[in-house]
Amino acid sequence: MFESLSDRLSGVFDRLTKQGALSADDVKTALREVRIALLEADVSLSVARDFINAVQEKASGQSVTKSVTPGQQVVKIVHDELVHVLQGDGDPGALKIDNPPAPILMVGLQGSGKTTTTAKLAKRLKERDGKKVLMASLDVNRPAAMEQLQILGAQIGVDTLPIVKGEDPVKIAKRAKTAAAMGGYDVYILDTAGRLHIDAELIAQAAAVRDVAQPRETLLVVDGLTGQDAVNVATEFDDKIGVTGVVLTRMDGDGRGGAALSMRAVTGKPIRFVGLGEKMDAIEEFHAERVAGRILGMGDIVSLVEKAQQTIEADQAERMMKRLQKGRFNMNDMRMQLDQMMKMGGMEGMMGMMPGMKKAAKQIEDSGMDDSVLKRQIALINSMTKKERANPQLLQASRKKRIAAGSGLEVRELNQLIKMHRQMADMMKKMGKGGMLKQAMKGMF
């Protein structure tokens, strides 16, 4: 899985991580190579382009972290972006099969590996999750397919619904539902008929079965070797039938992996499993983190950068603490505070945690301020010069206007920020003297 892509990328990053300093051009060249590698792996054009843009943007906004090289940082950014492309906004979690008997509908083209996957999944659910599983083939056009499922069932020790000649798929689905309920099964898997191409009849049949079975999961099986075609098939099936997840088969082959990388971004549907061979155990749950790690093959660097980033945050907090104790609290500190607040779930909760800030928290609530305010305040501070941040008293009316305009905001908001800063600085000073500051900061970092 992903061998050639992985080889290509490790070549690019080996060169990059060996360099001590990186120019913007070095990064650009490396990313151009990454883009080519993605396209050669048959990743869709738009996904590859968005990927590179996202990495580029993050790499240019990245401040230098000590103890790792810029190249290592780029590897981490690429890794995180790979995870993002592979899983979208989050891990889909386990299959939804809690309410027995839970129906799972398997759909896909003929030859995609649907029947094999049905049996692999049944075996997995039986052995790993201790579920009692029933399988039923609805492929009335191909008696051989029905027999194939029966043979696989016997092989793995999973029951199959007895074959009754002359029944249509909807009838079989209903019979499976009854048999599953009567027989105390946890899950029943319906293996629908496949065709070589998506046609109206195939879709109509799958939709009719879906309507009677009301599946908890509808898994689309697609052949990973078919690259972008797999993604197109998924889009079409999802439009017409609605799928909850994808199983990519034949990922054991020397396929280029593009289907896996484009699937989530193009269809919005998660890959739930990958098929890795013909044997009944050759199925794996799909984990974006693990796959990204496999593609990049640079797990050491990724964890190194993660650690360095944590250390740097702790260092920053320590330094800020020292400054605050000395009664210094400038706009840079304030920005750090605001960033931290964003990370810790917003303003109100944050303020409420700090002694002496309860009143401020109340004021915030009353004034209807929310986290968008935090973002605007950060934008305002970003528009100030270094000197102004160190010493906000320097701000004259004309500069205030420019800063506000520069961040698309009103001077009024800037004045509010300055006032808030002054109040906080006063308070920090008082708290610093009383030793309360240390106490308060403990809860924050």
Please enumerate, by residue number, every residue annotated as part of a binding site for GTP.
Answer: 108-115, 191-195, 249-252
| Contact between residue 75 and residue 298 where contact means Cβ atoms under 8 Å apart | yes
Minimum distance, C-beta of residue 114 to ligand GDP, in the bound complex (Å): 3
113 binds ligand GDP per the rule CB under 6 A: yes
Minimum distance, C-beta of residue 153 to ligand GDP, in the bound complex (Å): 13
CA angle 161, 163, 169 (to 5 degrees): 85
| Contact between residue 170 and residue 212 where contact means Cβ atoms under 8 Å apart | yes
The residue with tokens 């099936």 is: 237
Q: Which of 6, 72, 112, 407 binds ligand GDP (CB under 6 A)?
A: 112
Which stretches of 159-267 are DSSP H helices?
169-182, 200-213, 228-240, 258-267
Minimum distance, C-beta of residue 123 to ligand GDP, in the bound complex (Å): 13
The H or E element that residue 431 is part of is helix 411-434
Cβ closest to ligand GDP, residue 140 vs residue 424: 140
137 binds ligand GDP per the rule CB under 6 A: no
Site string for ligand GDP, 391-430 (x = CB under 6 A): ----------------------------------------
111 binds ligand GDP per the rule CB under 6 A: yes
Three-state secondary-structure class, residue 350: helix
The b-or-e profile of 337-367 (16+ CB within 10 A means b, else e) is bbebbeeeeebbebbeebeebeebbeebeee
Q: Determine the interface stretch with ligand GDP among 114-122, 263-271, 323-331, 437-445 (rule: CB under 6 A).
A: 114-122
Cβ closest to ligand GDP, residue 114 vs residue 124: 114
115 binds ligand GDP per the rule CB under 6 A: yes
What are residue 247's DSSP bridge partners? 221, 273
Hey, what are 438's tokens? 């240390």
Cβ closest to ligand GDP, residue 82 vs residue 248: 248
Type of residue found at 103: P
Q: Determine the interface stretch with ligand GDP among 28-36, 206-214, 244-252, 299-307 (rule: CB under 6 A).
A: 244-252
- As to burial, measured by CB atoms within 10 angstroms (0-12 exposed, 13-18 middle, 19+ buried), residue 84 is middle
56 binds ligand GDP per the rule CB under 6 A: no
Cβ closest to ligand GDP, residue 116 vs residue 262: 116
Between residue 267 and residue 306, which ones bind ligand GDP under the rule CB under 6 A? 275-278, 282
Q: Determine the interface stretch with ligand GDP among 74-82, 105-113, 176-184, 424-432 (rule: CB under 6 A).
A: 105-113
Query: Alpha-carbon distance 111 to 194, whole Å?
Result: 8
Interface contacts to ligand GDP, rule CB under 6 A = 108, 110-116, 194, 249-250, 252-253, 275-278, 282
